[in-house]
Structure formats: structure tokens, C-alpha cells
Chain A
């Protein structure tokens, strides 16, 4: 990726001349600057009556996967298992439309963090990358400075916080600091943050890192409402904002040119009773030039070049061996001594004065009681 990037800079001037006839579209083609896409989709509520939050997350997952982001680049965190919940009358399904039109669970859903693994700590560790070395790749956000990340949170929230698992919460300050850490560690190129909770706009008002765009389903003081319930399943299937977001995304395909301004118009107040909000002041590009697929899809860039490139000569086998020898592992600790260490000699001995005193006393007592000449009476 890095090589392509350098060459991109090198060739953009040439290509711009070459494709000047394409004009605007070429500029747009290279305008985003990202080379890979990641998505972190989190549902923070458990229990059966929060079915809709799981359905929300799975709908976004479905859209994101359909638009090209592979499972290896999606971190899906679901706090509860609705598909196999014993109250689910249709097991192994999670529906997003009433009348069960759309099963967002399907056969190929890969949940990375499930159940009680969805905690504030794990979420922050994913974002900042501070995971124990034993964490598998599927549970890591392996983004770099050319990644565009979509972060989608849903659950129950309030003014300045989002509740995780009914027992803890993440505050907007923590989230903003996590994003700042990501920026300082160059873990994202651009980040789109969508939140569908009550008073969701409070979660993005503390952001201060560059290249963040945020969308929320409701303003501070407003509740995000759920869409219609399904009488057969018995719970509300989706939240309004995500319902209309899903409807909007169903029309997007990998080559579509819809931009963010269209996304901001999703779910006006007439449809969602709450007022959706967005924040773009930290974003360096104009939202009108940001494609939906920059975040929701995984568009691979193909670069055409007419030049031939000469690769360097292959490395010789001999110099390869030399190189191998240079890379020997030097023991930091005297490993052989530690492994084969003999048990430590018993170093401690009682002081001589003690032994002397003790045995003198014992002998004194012995002779005092028995006396040398009385010994034969004892035996």
C-alpha cells in the first residue's frame, strides 16, 4: 500500500495530464486518499426487548458487507444473541423489516465480540489497538494511516454517555480521547461515526481530532424512537433512524456516487420523530465530495500506468545466508543457566553461638536432673 501511495504522488501529475479529458471524475477518483476500509459495529444492549439494537447493527453489517468490506475488516460486537434467544419464535433469524421481509442474520454473519465480551474496555482497546498479544486477528482493528473507518454504535444512551451491557457506560469524553489516541497513532485516515441512541448528538460534541465526521439519530434532550413492532416476534424490530438508513443504503451499490450530503438528509423529522444531527467541522474535505462508498464500501483503487518499471536484481542465495547469520538471537538473560539451575544450596545455618548456647543448656539440665552417678537408676 505504501509503495502505491508514493507512486500515486509521483504519478498524479502525469495521470492528471493523461486523464484530463475525464476531468472531474479523475480528480474525484484520487480525492479520498484512503486505501482500505474498516468497520466497527457495536450493539451495546442485551436482553430480548433490545432486539432492535442487534437488528440495527446487523443491518449496517449487511450493508457494509454487501458494499464490499470483507469480514476480516469488520469488527462486529453484539452484546446478546437474539437469533438463538429462547424467546425468538423464529430461531436463527433476526429480522429488520416487519412482516419478516429481510433476515439480516443469514448464514455468513461473523460476530467477533459476543455477549459479555462487549465491554467498554474491549471497545476502547479495539480502537486504540492495545490488545494482549494473544488476541486473534479477527478481534483486532488493524487499521493504518490510510484506513477509512466506519464506527456504528447503538444501544441505550443519555446526555454524554452510552450504556454498555446494563452495567457500565462510556462517556463522550472517553470516546473523544480514544479517537485522539487513534489520530496520534495514525490509526485512521478518516473516520465516520454514526450513533443511534437517545440523545446521540451528545456523544460527538466532544470530538477534537481531525478528520472525524459524525452522525447521530437524535439531538440532546430528544429520544430516538423505535420503528414499528412486529406482532409475531413481539418486539420492536428496528430503530427508526437505522431503518431509514438501511433503506437508503439498499439503494447504494459499489459504483454509486451518492455523497454525504445525501446521508445527512436520511430520516428527516417527519419520519424519525427525533432530529438527526451531524458534525462535519473536524472533517478536512467537503462533505459533498465524500462518497458513501468511501466509508460503507471497500472500493479498490486501480491505477493505470504506461511506464515500465525495472525491478532490482533478485537477492543471491549466499548473501541471503549472510543476512540470516546477521540476524542471530542474542540471549538477553543467561538462559542456559536459568533453565539448568541447580537448586540453591541451603545457605542459612543457625549461628554458632546459638547452637553452643542451646546444647550447653540442654547438657546442664540433663546433668542437673540426672547427675552422672544416677544414670544407672534410669536404665
Chain B
């Protein structure tokens, strides 16, 4: 596993280095699909330059990174390309390792006994699973979205690395590290807060604490985790205060994420709505849109309480689609996990449509942007239509995987080839 992984890393680094040196890097770093006001490298440099001039980087609407990012880049600004490549490589290694670790836990024999006989083909054999971590690493490293995001030096790569580390520590069972990385991820952008639920579920599963509201151990574990999480969050926020000596960063970072003042077009859903709505409805729609991100946590965790890893995947997808300033870097993170559920392929219904739509939309984004902004023969509706279509395709992808997962679970419980009482073949109807 180490050798192919190294080869893959080399290829990925070469591709990125080649792109960094070419003239495309400037072009890519200005694309709105790849960088958002939160993650743009241009803004990071601007913020650091302001800091050198003695002005708070959060004055004005330029810089929306957290103070820890300032600290990190203060020393690494000259080595930015290397930093991002390292973070991408690091996150892919982390992700590989965590999947490997996860799979090592699953013992084939144990599982086989639990299920009806005709479901054996649904269970993955270790031989099939051998190459999945490598596939995941490949999906992450060689995904054009990740490459674009890395070449644009978008800090999304760092956020992805932190989330990957969080998932790793959760799967390893380390409660403290999981809480710390989750608080770091939440500190960077607020939305990973929803990953609390799957983390809790997984850790409780590992520690054999039953998920039952009436049990004291359940609540005690939640309290512990919450204490660690909130404590580390508090410590990080106070530490950020001491970096610059002011609380300026709170409205600049969190106020910015939550109140969405910047309506630069991106691949998300917020900008078009908020550009055209009346002022007195703005707060209402803001609440609606933001609650939409957090809303799916509870129903999904109730449904998927025995499968927290899948829940993490679903949550990541929901965050990437519905967050206020998504970029293709966020998408690449959850898409990297798709090979883990390659056994669901037989139940996926819309994969062709989804892949076609995603490819077409990715190709159409720059075309319609050019038509709108430069040629002037299109308008924002064209671009937003493609954005909508892209997000619909992503939602379809995610819901398709969800359906396939649930269907597999159903088959595992009730058998793959269903027979009615008289022996004839039964059909499964989705009501």
C-alpha cells in the first residue's frame, strides 16, 4: 500500500507543480468557482500586507480568515505552494490511513454470519476492499476539483485537511483529539459543527455505549465530549484574541459566514437569492438558508445511527452543497469518499445522469461566466441556472447513495432475492 500511494503522491505533486509554474495558475486563482471570499489566496496576502502596514487585517471587507490562519501563513507565505501541496498530500494520506484502519476493523467472517445466505454477494470481501484506500487517495489527489483548488491556493485545502484529521481521530477512537480537531474545523468555518453528531455516534459505538436517551452513560458521554469540544473551541477563540489583541475577527469571520454580505457569484445557492430579495425579507431568508444546512443532522442521525461513517459522508455532502460560500474544493472532499461505497453501485439508479450533469455543468461554468461577464450576451440567470443544476446533481448523487445504502441494509436484513409467500419473485416498491 505504501508504494502505490507514494507513486500516486508523486504524480499528484508533479501535476500540481506543473500547473503552478504555468500561466494557468493566475487564471485559476481568479475563478469564482474555485475561490470564494472566504478562501481566496489573494485575500490572505492582502490581509498579511495590511498587518505589515500596521492595520488590522479585518478592517474593510477584504480578509475573512481566522487568526490562526494568519499565524500559519505569516511564516509560510513564501512557501505557499508547498504548504498547499503538503496539506493536500497530507489529507489524502490521512484519508487513506483512516479507511485502511476502518477496514481492518471489519472482519469478514463475523459479518458473514449475521446475514442471510443470499446476501453474501452484498458483503465485500477483503480482496475487493484491498484497493479501496488507494482509490480514495486517487479520487482525492487526482480529482480535477482538488487540483484546481490547490493550484488556486485556496485555503479550502487546509480546511479539508483539518476535517480529514478529525475523521481520522474519530475513527481511531481518540475522543480528545476528535473534539479538538472538530473544534478547529468549526473554528475555521462554522458548518462542521454538524459533524458532532456522527462523531458522537461513532465514538459511542466504539465504546459500546448504547444510543438510548434514557441511559445515563449516553448523556454522560455527550457531556464529556461537549465539554472537550466547547472547551477547546473556547481556548482557540481566546488564543485568537491574543494574536491580534482584538475581537475584530469574530464579525469578520463568523458574521461574514452567517450573514452572507458578499454576493459574488459562486457555485452555491445564496448569492442569486440574496441579490434580488428585498431588504426586509433578508433576515428571514438568511435564517431559512442557514438552518437548511443544520437541519438535516437530526433526521439523518436518527436514521443512520448504526452507520456513523456513512453519516459523516452525508453530512459532509450536505455541508458542501448548502454552505454559504461553497467551492469545488469542498466538493472534492466528499467525492473522495465515494469509492468507500463502491459496493453500493448495484443499487445506484441515477449514476449516469448525475455524472453527465456534473461534467456538463463543470464545463459550462466558465463558458457562461465568460458569456455573462465578458461578452455581455448572457446574464446572471444563465450562470445561476448552471449553479442550480450543479447543486441538483450533487443532491441527486448524495440521495442516490443514501437510497442505495438503505436498500442494501434492507436487503441484508430481509434477503436479496425476495420471495413472496407462494415462492414467486417479489418486487420491492418504494413508497
Which residues of A are interface residues toward B (Cβ below 8 A)?
344, 346-351, 353-354, 357-358, 361, 365, 368-369
Contact = CB atoms under 8 A, between A and B. Distances in A.
A351 B242 contact: yes
Contacts of A354: 71, 239, 242-243
A347 B54 contact: yes
B26 interface: no
Interface string B163-178: 0000000000010110
Given A351-B242, A358-B68, 7 more contacts: A344-B52, A350-B71, A350-B243, A351-B243, A351-B245, A353-B242, A357-B242
Interface string B45-69: 0000001111000000000000010
Contacts of B54: 347-348
B74 interface: yes
A346 B48 CA distance: 9
A358 B74 contact: no
Interface in B345-373: none
A172 B1 CA distance: 87
Nearest to B51: A348
B180 interface: yes
Nearest to A357: B239
A369 B176 contact: yes
B243 A365 contact: no
Contacts of B51: 348
Nearest 9 interchain pairs by C-beta: A348-B51, A354-B242, A354-B243, A369-B177, A350-B71, A346-B52, A348-B52, A350-B243, A357-B239
Nearest to B245: A351
Contacts of A358: 68, 71, 239
Contacts of A348: 51-52, 54, 74
Contacts of B177: 365, 369
Interface residues of B, number: 17
A93 to B, nearest CB: 37
Interface string B187-199: 0000000000000
Given A354-B242, A357-B239, A361-B235, A368 B176 contact: yes
Nearest to A343: B52
A347 B48 CA distance: 11
Interface string B370-403: 0000000000000000000000000000000000
Interface string B249-275: 000000000000000000000000000
A275 to B, nearest CB: 51
A353 B243 CA distance: 8
A350 B52 contact: no
Nearest to B169: A369
A349 B71 CA distance: 9
A369 B174 contact: yes
A353 B239 CA distance: 9
A365 B245 CA distance: 25
Contacts of B245: 351
Nearest to A345: B52
A361 B242 CA distance: 14
Contacts of B52: 344, 346-348
Nearest to B236: A361
15 contacts: A344-B53, A346-B52, A348-B51, A348-B54, A348-B74, A350-B70, A350-B71, A351-B243, A354-B242, A357-B242, A358-B68, A361-B239, A365-B180, A369-B174, A369-B176
Interface in B129-181: 174, 176-177, 180
A375 to B, nearest CB: 15
A361 B52 CA distance: 27
B239 A350 contact: no
Contacts of B68: 358
Nearest to A362: B180
A350 B70 CA distance: 9
A113 B71 CA distance: 57
Interface string B61-97: 0000000101100100000000000000000000000
Nearest to B181: A365
B178 to A, nearest CB: 10
A351 B174 CA distance: 32
Nearest to B242: A354
Contacts of B239: 354, 357-358, 361
B431 to A, nearest CB: 47
